Amino acid sequence: MTGTLRHFRPGVFALIVALLLGVSGISVVTENEQAVIERLGEPNRVINRFSPTGPSGAGLVAKIPLVESMVVLPRGLVTYSLAAKRVRTADQQWLLADTDVTYRIIDPVKLSETLGSAVKTEDQLKALLRPLLDQEVGSRNAVVVAQPGAGGANEAMRRALDGGVRQYGLQVVDLRIARLALDEGSLASAYDRMEQRHEATLAEIEVKSANDALAVTSAAEAEATARRKRSADQDPEFYSFYRAMRSYDELYGDPKRKNTVTIVLPPDSGYLEHFGGK
């Protein structure tokens, strides 16, 4: 029995090795993946290459064990985000910008040859995107960058970034500045400017209000003078009586001046004729 096992041991070992090699030679590519089969380090064929018509080769993939290897890449859209990039606008405002880039791999062989794997794509996107942000945002005022489309900066950066990554087999489908915020220094400066504008507006309102009040008072006094003149022209005797009563009120009507004013007048004074029943 022992001799029989010894006789079959090499065959069993070979069978196990064959099975292991056979299993390692079978891989699965899903519908959301595309794969480059490399033979001895060189691209040989592409499985489930991206196509607008949809997946075409997903499923089990056979490759030669120890000779061929498989580089798996995303087949659909991929999003990369560059967060809190500090940029300065044309009007010298420092902003923190979050930028989202949507791309896809359209040439998996080129990507495999240049970058080796999809992991390195983000490094290339980051290296190209940073100077583009400085250039495009730096040529626009902060108010323009805050508008939809960042005042044309989004599309300009998308075209430039797409042209820069085509050498890696990538296509930039969309790029947009997702969020803008003032950094601490610019935020404090903005608050100071807002306070200065508020104070200037308040001072302008106060001056205008004072001028309006003066104009209203002047108009009222002019109207009162005109009315008194018309009254005097219509009844001079009554107007003389009215003026005497007003002067008497000014002299004695104020409680604070009571018993503090003394007037000595002769009996035939014209001022007293209104109080003598004449």
Place of tokens 């000779």: 67
Cα–Cα dist 172/158, whole Å:
7
* Rounded Cα–Cα distance for residues 25 and 19 (Å): 10
Using alpha carbons, list the distances in angstroms from residue 30 to 24, 27, 38, 78, 154.
Answer: 17, 10, 18, 16, 33
For residues 173 and 102, give the distance between their C-alpha atoms in angstroms, rounded to a whole number.
6
- Write b or e for each residue in 147-159: b if 16 or more Cβ atoms lie within 10 A of its Cβ, otherwise e: eeebbebbebbbe
CATH 3.30.479.30 occupies which residues in the chain? 78-182
What 8-state DSSP symbol labels residue 140?
Answer: S
The pLDDT value recorded for residue 263 is 65
Closest to 166 measured CA to CA, from 218, 90, 114: 114
Please name which of 24, 22, 73 lies closest in space to residue 48, comparing C-alpha atoms: 73
pLDDT at 210: 84
Instruction: Report the first-to-last Cα separation within the chain, whole angstroms.
Output: 163
Q: What is the mean pLDDT of the chain?
A: 80
Q: What is the pLDDT of residue 250?
A: 66
pLDDT score, position 168? 95
> What is the pTM (predicted TM-score) of this model?
0.60
Q: How far apart are CA 265 and CA 268, in angstroms?
A: 8
pLDDT digits (tens, 9 = 90+) for 119-158: 889 999 999 999 999 999 999 999 999 899 999 999 999 9
H runs (alpha helix) in the chain: 2-24, 108-114, 121-138, 142-145, 153-165, 184-234, 236-252
Predicted local distance difference test score (pLDDT) of residue 17: 45
Among left, alpha and beta (phi > 0; psi -120 to 50; other), residue 51 is beta
Q: CATH topology for 78-182?
A: Tetrahydropterin Synthase; Chain A (3.30.479)
Residue labelled with tokens 């005109």:
226
What would the two tokens of residue 45 be? 């064929």
pLDDT of the residue at 176: 95
Tell me the pLDDT of the chain (278 aa) as tens digits: 555 545 556 655 455 544 444 445 688 888 889 999 888 888 888 988 888 776 677 777 878 888 888 888 999 999 999 998 999 999 988 999 999 999 999 999 999 999 888 888 999 999 999 999 999 999 999 999 989 999 999 999 999 999 999 999 999 999 999 998 887 665 556 556 667 777 788 888 888 888 888 888 888 888 877 777 776 677 676 666 677 667 666 666 666 665 665 666 676 666 566 555 54
Output the pLDDT for position 104: 95
**pLDDT at site 20:** 47
CA 198 from centroid of its chain's CA atoms:
23
- What's the confidence (pLDDT) of residue 67? 84
